[in-house]
Structure 1
Amino acid sequence: MRKALALSLLAVFLGGCASDPADRDISGTWINQVAIDAAAQGGPLREALQAYGPNLEWDVNTKANQARYTNGFENVEGKLLADESGAWKVDFYGSSASELRRDGKQLSQVASDNEPAQVFDRAVIQVPDGAPIGASFERALYTAYMGGSWKVISGPGEGNTVQFQADGQVTGLTGADRYALCLAGDCASMSGGNDSMWLQLNGQGNTWVFARKGKELEIFQTVNASMADEMPSFTPGDRKWLLEKQ
């Protein structure tokens, strides 16, 4: 009987440890892996980001009572407060608030009047010290969405093998050594409903419209439909490249 009682008390003790505040700790970087996984299926990037966004990454420091997030356009910082219910409140200095909860290995952002419910996973890919918020999401997205080897089916450098690196470097694409995908903000507004990317060589570059369909990636020159004194409005022009993922 005493042995059974001791085992019972041990179980209670261990159960209490499982709900210890340490298990609630949400410090670190969390990325919107659901949006990345959706994009990695090979469809339009903006559709995936809009369906599972808007927030792309959270960076949380419970010791400093700080939390910040990015939606690819804005970087917003707030004060982190622990709640007796086990949740964490993020107060954005009177303008609004978000509620975060640790759910096992995931971080849940509770739905509010301003934003839908979202789920985030801990960032795995390492980024350089001092990298801006959003870098972890960006590198994970670039790996999943643009990673691997692509063959130039048509366009300059036909037959080349192209590789888009997680850090924004690109090799094998004639006339470009770096790229950046448009995630949100002005670049998205200027491209209407199209996906767009920035391609540059030796620091000089331009915006290009692209379309991803499974293993095919089409990259188009842009046509600006706006007047000179208006915000650019890019639409697809002539196709420059057709790439196929190997």
Structure 2
Amino acid sequence: MGGDVAMTCLLLAPLLLPTSAIRMLHTMKDLSTTGYGCPNPRHGLQLLRWLAQSVIYFDNNGIMRARFLDNQYGFHYYGNYENILPTLHWDQQYFEVGNLNYNGADALPYSVRAAYDQRQGTSYEYNMDRIVVQRRRNSNEIGAVYITEHQPWSGTLNSQNTFRISPDLIRSLQSPSRATSFQHQYHGNLQFNNQAIHTSRFQVSPSQDQTFCVGLCWCLCLLIIFIFAMIFLGASSGGKKW
């Protein structure tokens, strides 16, 4: 009996746990570790900066509130069908923004839409970044802000690249000077890292090239020694009389 109860509890435990453990980003340094919105032509970082500076504000009690209507700027209901985000209380809803093809998204500022409007080709990176906000029904109170992205060539969100933005980080992004300085540094570092990652798949760096040559020389030397050793052993065996 006790064993059956324990087994039942183990089986039900995953259902009683939160649907996901989403990392909270508190600082710009935290944000820089995610790679969100980079490299170009992705628009997520510009989208987040616009949201912090033009849509979200804090009331006198420090509560986040938002200036947007349904379908304005492309905001639309998000049903959390992938079960990536926490399940909401009945008086809360999720709204998604960032799909540059959605009705109303043409009202987003040029800084957000620039790469998409001038795009060449059909790369999914032009329109993969999303932001989801949790808003109280019949109110403009914001309970949470999440950054995320679509899976390549898919309509589903990427749970591995979904993060929650803290109110403190929203406040930091509301400072134009800090946001601009961070954005330049963020893009530069991520573009450099991304280029290094992609280049390393097809090219060998000078240091790697030198290491490779040294290793190849050692392998050739060992191969030559092995061949001479085998010849010597063969000759020795041939000279013996049994």
The structure carrying a bigger strand percent of its residues is: 1
User: Taking CA–CA contacts closer than 8 Å with sequence separation of 6 or more, which of the two structures ends up with the larger relative contact order?
Assistant: 2
TM-score (structure 2 length as normaliser):
0.28
Length-normalised TM-score, structure 1 = 0.28
Larger radius of gyration: 2
Structure with the higher helix share, 1 or 2: 2
